[in-house]
A and B are shown apart, each in its own frame.
Chain A
Amino acid sequence: MRVNSDWNRLRRVGLLFTAAVAASLLIAACGDDDDDGGSANVSSDQPECGQATGEPASGQPIKIGAIATKQPGTDFSEGPLAAEAYFNCVNDNGGIQGRPIEMVIETEQTDPGQIANAATKLAESEKVLGIFGNFSIIEGAVNHTYYEQNGFNVLCAGIAPEAYSTPNMACVNMGPRYSSDGAVQAVLNQDVDKVVFDQSNVPGTDYIVAGPRAVAEDAGVEFEDFADTPPIQDANSVALKLVQAAGENGGVVLNFTPPEALKILQAAEQQGLADQVKAWGCSTPCNTDFVAEALGTVWDDKLLVNAELNVTDADDEDSQLYRDVLSKYSPDIPLGSFTQMGFVIGQVATEAMQSIEGEITKESVNEAVLNVKNFDTGILCAPWYFGEAPLHIPNNIDWTTTPEGGKMVIKEDCFEISEADPDIAEVRQIEADDPSLIGE
């Protein structure tokens, strides 16, 4: 009988705890986690996109496909959703030749078989006319050959080397290698005598580190690199290791996802290491207000972050339109680098499809995208282009940002990523051979 009495008491306690846990979860779920852009300047007018007719499009939709990584810890789906938001704005403004654009988004969990199937499904089952808005870790490596064989010219924001080194893919971002080049350049500008580079220990580290190493060595500065396996479980030790390796006149450059970079930076702050080297740098993933907000003020004007895109609260027309479009058509996704990239992809694809004079087919759509050149937007430092080339790194001029009062602000205006990186040198030669790509 005693057991039953204990059990009943336990059940009552259990019910109380259930209520407490439910209340905690409710508070958490109702939290305002993702609205970092909520306070940004937004116009109340109907955004003007595409032809800006104000008339809704009708008729047979033009199907566009996209593939995005979405798995625990890595969710890139905001990118194509931002492109879709822009397309919806275009659809409310006359569409393309009066027809609406329909977005088909496939998500993947970095499984090569699944990613290959997603591309096949988009092309052969969904019969999309273009693939615009791929945001993936490995998709470029898996599908670039398929795209080349099937005549797709893909607009993307990628990580895999193939997203930047193949003829049929052109990304609006520049990826980890060239962004790390930019971060190293920013640190070199602080007159450091050594650069220590640390990155995620994932496939492709040798490809990535080749760029920063070339940039540092071209400047005659000693270079040492490390790779730490994410998730980092000993951030204090990692921060100590990097600071010891750099020395008091050295600089540390990180190439990690925002949560991993934040761990190292916070560990450095808590151990008083932030001032024990001359400069700290970080590649583009750190360029988010989430990082600025989470970091203490000790990093204001000290952490130099390479920024492939403008700050989200910039006052140029394109940034204003970006905020207006997201506010009206996709208010649940936050302002940030990924949604900026998706928005730019939407703009590029729309401008390309608007240039089609005849029938809208897969061939005409992909030819139009291939012909995009001198695409000017305030969200990027320099005009963007696709063009026929063996490799594509059209985003090769960047800003440097730094945290300030919980936000990222511009620290250094647009500067060219160093041609000491042989890939960048090759791209500059392509631009020199056809100056019309960048409007010169």
Chain B
Amino acid sequence: MVELGFLDLPSWSQLQPFIATGLALGGVYALSGVGMVVLYQTTGVLNLAFGAVGAMGALIAWELVNNAGMAEGLAYLVCILFGGAITLLYGAFFGAALAGRDPLVKATASLGLLLILLGTMSWIWSDKARSLTLPTSDPAFTVGEIFVNWTQLIALGLGIVVTFGTLAFLRFTNLGTAMRALANDREIAATLGVPVRKVEAQAWLVSGLLAGAAGLLLSNLVGLDAATLTFLVISSLAAALIARLRSLPITFFAALVVGLVTAMSTPWTPVSEYRQMAPFVLAVIALLWISRKREVTIPGASG
């Protein structure tokens, strides 16, 4: 330890291994954050059930591998497809009814889905310990003094691919253009002939597939536990909020920062206990910074 008065800073060599864990988690947070931002921009729904969808997909995969004897690869595919299916179903049945409602109402409705999924998981899978170890987690290598496994690398790589792939998709494809049109103005886009429900359905589907993939990776990087995976959405949400639910690149970099700050504060004893607050703190700092030049208007207070 490097002693700096009341600071008890860890040395660089102590911090290095935490970079790999932070980047891996950041990659998955980016994956989730992008899924949330795309869905929000297209449908106006902040899907708080994102983590629960991934958690349930991962538990189904565990069940299929361990008790139904399904091949691992196929079970993992079911996990991802389950995410897409359940999210698409929710969007298909409730999306239209909620279309004209306030964003807060839409977000609260997704909280309902979260609670249903969480309750179902508690009902089917007890609180017994279980694990889902991806085959990519065993072979590990070192980069300098940093120990890395392939799952961590895939998590970060997928975060990069999904973020910048989605950016390209939105820019260069017809569906992407339609999604951007919905993001700008839903009513005008509909008037101009954009198939609103079809575009929304595809946004729900893509977002759900990302939820399934994130659940699968997090069940390996963090642990296969319904509550943990369900509420990890908070870190992704913080990244999305830092990007004001608009910018995918900012969501990506914010997610990496959230992952890195959380991980690298772990060996720093004075703050280690409070590291789970990092997503909130970063989001608050970012939002205060963004709004620093805005004028606050209080109705009726003028003059």
B-contacting residues of A (Cβ < 8 Å)? 2-3, 6-7, 10-11, 13-14, 17-18, 20-21, 24-25, 27-29, 31-34, 72-75, 201, 226-227, 229, 231-238, 240-241, 244, 257-263, 266-267, 270-273, 288, 290-291, 294-296
With both beta carbons as reference points, the residue of chain A lying nearest to B195 in the complex is identified as: A6
With both beta carbons as reference points, the residue of chain A lying nearest to B14 in the complex is identified as: A244
- Contact between B225 and A231 (Cβ–Cβ < 8 Å)? yes
Q: A residues within 8 A CB of B280?
A: none
- Per the bound structure, the CA–CA distance linking A238 and B64 in Å amounts to 29
Q: A residues within 8 A CB of B122?
A: 72-73
Closest Cβ of chain B to A74, distance in Å, is 6
Does B222 have its Cβ within 8 Å of any Cβ on chain A? yes
- Contact between B118 and A72 (Cβ–Cβ < 8 Å)? yes
Does B129 have its Cβ within 8 Å of any Cβ on chain A? yes
Pairs across A and B, CB under 8 Å, 26 listed: A3-B196, A6-B197, A10-B201, A13-B201, A14-B88, A24-B78, A29-B124, A31-B124, A33-B128, A34-B126, A75-B127, A201-B273, A232-B223, A233-B235, A233-B262, A234-B263, A236-B21, A237-B263, A244-B17, A260-B223, A260-B225, A266-B133, A270-B138, A271-B21, A271-B140, A271-B147
Could you say which of A241, A262, A271, A294 contacts B272, with CB atoms under 8 Å apart?
Answer: A241
Q: Which of B14, B21, B81, B262 counts the most chain A CB atoms within 10 A?
A: B21
Could you say which of B85, B129, B222 contacts A20, with CB atoms under 8 Å apart?
Answer: B85
- Contact between A262 and B196 (Cβ–Cβ < 8 Å)? no
Closest Cβ of chain B to A268, distance in Å, is 11
Closest Cβ of chain B to A197, distance in Å, is 14
- Contact between B18 and A10 (Cβ–Cβ < 8 Å)? no
- Contact between A290 and B129 (Cβ–Cβ < 8 Å)? yes
- Contact between B223 and A6 (Cβ–Cβ < 8 Å)? no
With both beta carbons as reference points, the residue of chain B lying nearest to A17 in the complex is identified as: B85
- Per the bound structure, the CA–CA distance linking A294 and B129 in Å amounts to 7
With both beta carbons as reference points, the residue of chain A lying nearest to B234 in the complex is identified as: A233
- Contact between B225 and A259 (Cβ–Cβ < 8 Å)? yes
- Per the bound structure, the CA–CA distance linking A72 and B147 in Å amounts to 35
- Contact between B89 and A17 (Cβ–Cβ < 8 Å)? yes
Besides A21-B89, A227-B273, A232-B222, 18 new A-B residue pairs in contact (Cβ under 8 A), listed by A number: A6-B198, A11-B92, A14-B92, A25-B60, A73-B127, A73-B226, A229-B276, A233-B222, A233-B228, A233-B235, A234-B21, A237-B266, A237-B275, A260-B223, A266-B131, A267-B223, A290-B129, A290-B130
Could you say which of B129, B147, B222 contacts A258, with CB atoms under 8 Å apart?
Answer: B129
- Contact between B227 and A234 (Cβ–Cβ < 8 Å)? no
Q: A residues within 8 A CB of B131?
A: 262, 266, 294-295
Does B191 have its Cβ within 8 Å of any Cβ on chain A? no
- Contact between B228 and A232 (Cβ–Cβ < 8 Å)? yes
- Per the bound structure, the CA–CA distance linking A31 and B69 in Å amounts to 11
- Asked, given contacts A10-B92, A241-B267, whether A263 binds B195 with beta carbons under 8 Å apart, the answer is no
DSSP majority for the A interface? Answer: helix
- Per the bound structure, the CA–CA distance linking A271 and B18 in Å amounts to 11
Q: Which of B59, B92, B231 counts the most chain A CB atoms within 10 A?
A: B92
Q: B residues within 8 A CB of A272?
A: 140, 147
A-contacting residues of B (Cβ < 8 Å)? 14, 17-18, 21-22, 24-25, 59-60, 63-64, 66-68, 78, 81-82, 85-86, 88-89, 92-93, 118-120, 122, 124-131, 133, 137-138, 140, 147, 149, 151, 195-198, 201, 220-223, 225-228, 231-232, 235, 262-263, 266-267, 272-273, 275-276
With both beta carbons as reference points, the residue of chain B lying nearest to A20 in the complex is identified as: B85
- Contact between A271 and B149 (Cβ–Cβ < 8 Å)? yes
- Per the bound structure, the CA–CA distance linking A34 and B59 in Å amounts to 14
- Per the bound structure, the CA–CA distance linking A237 and B263 in Å amounts to 6
Closest Cβ of chain B to A277, distance in Å, is 14
- Contact between B221 and A236 (Cβ–Cβ < 8 Å)? yes
Could you say which of A17, A31, A201, A271 contacts B63, with CB atoms under 8 Å apart?
Answer: A31
Closest Cβ of chain A to B264, distance in Å, is 8
Closest Cβ of chain A to B55, distance in Å, is 11
- Contact between B276 and A296 (Cβ–Cβ < 8 Å)? no
- Asked, given contacts A14-B89, A271-B149, whether A231 binds B21 with beta carbons under 8 Å apart, the answer is no
- Contact between A296 and B21 (Cβ–Cβ < 8 Å)? no
With both beta carbons as reference points, the residue of chain A lying nearest to B137 in the complex is identified as: A270
